[in-house]
Amino acid sequence: MARLYESRKRILVTGGAGFLGSHLIDRLIDQGHEVLCVDNLFTGTKRNIDHLHTHPRFEFMRHDVTFPLYVEVDEIYNLACPASPVHYQHDPVQTTKTSVLGAINMLGLAKRLKAKIMQASTSEVYGDPSIHPQAESYWGNVNPIGPRSCYDEGKRCAETLFFDYQRQHGVEIKVVRIFNTYGPRMHHADGRVVSNFIVQALKGEPITIYGDGRQTRSFCFVDDLIEGFLRLMETGPEVTGPVNIGNPNEFTIRDLAEQTLAKVGGSSALINEPLPKDDPKQRQPDITQAKAVLGWQPTVELSEGLDRTIGYFRDALPRLEG
């Protein structure tokens, strides 16, 4: 059941027409807040927010966060940035600018308004980790000049800016490190493993496994992730993060492919392709801090989450590809 607040807030969500942003906005609207959704629609889509078009407490603004934004709000969630390799490598310079200039512009706005601000960071700040699972104290193992660096280092720099704005200007910040997340409204062609496998299986195409499939990931359902966002934003100024939000249950990529194919049915073959450069061999969050500070842990098992995500794509795929 959604928690209702005594005082209505006006909340800015950048990247609000994206996968995570649109789910966050739904929760904020359910809580009684007003939401300003800002998105340049590079990877986001109005389809994700069409159901809110006539809602009296929802407003959409098409804007690129690499340019300053002058609005009046009480809180800011900064989610703007392409988050899949297919999209963030399409224009790597723009990806870095979105992370770095976007953080500067949103932090400047938060400073002026004295508003609380959350940065959607990523487990990619850990790179190809040399420790397992990854705790927030780990500084990472990141290639600063590789094809993924625009995203990895852009997000690392954004975290730096957030903590410098806190120390230098007293801005109240929250930093969340997001691990692999899936669910309805994922982009059908973003190259992420869950959407890839589901779409390929539904279309009867071969399911593409990069490498030998023994690399591991931990998959968090979107509803669980958004609950983590909200709990972190509710904390006082003494809690800044970074906080890992993700599901610590670890699966190999081949496990995921086989589960997906079993649920969808059909006769798609599993085929192997070369592993992309700098693709991490393992990724699993240590969520000790999230449990202790936020009282948060995921509740949706992979099997249930896959069922809900497959149901979404089964219904939406003809429209998405039309």
d(CA 10, CA 74): 5
Residue 66, judged by CB atoms within 10 A of its CB (0-12, 13-18, 19+), counts as: middle
Its sign, for the CA torsion 241, 305, 99, 141, is positive
Residue 49, judged by CB atoms within 10 A of its CB (0-12, 13-18, 19+), counts as: buried
- Pick the catalytic residue: 77, 88, 126, 151? 151
151 is catalytic: yes
Could you give the residue numbers annotated as active site?
151
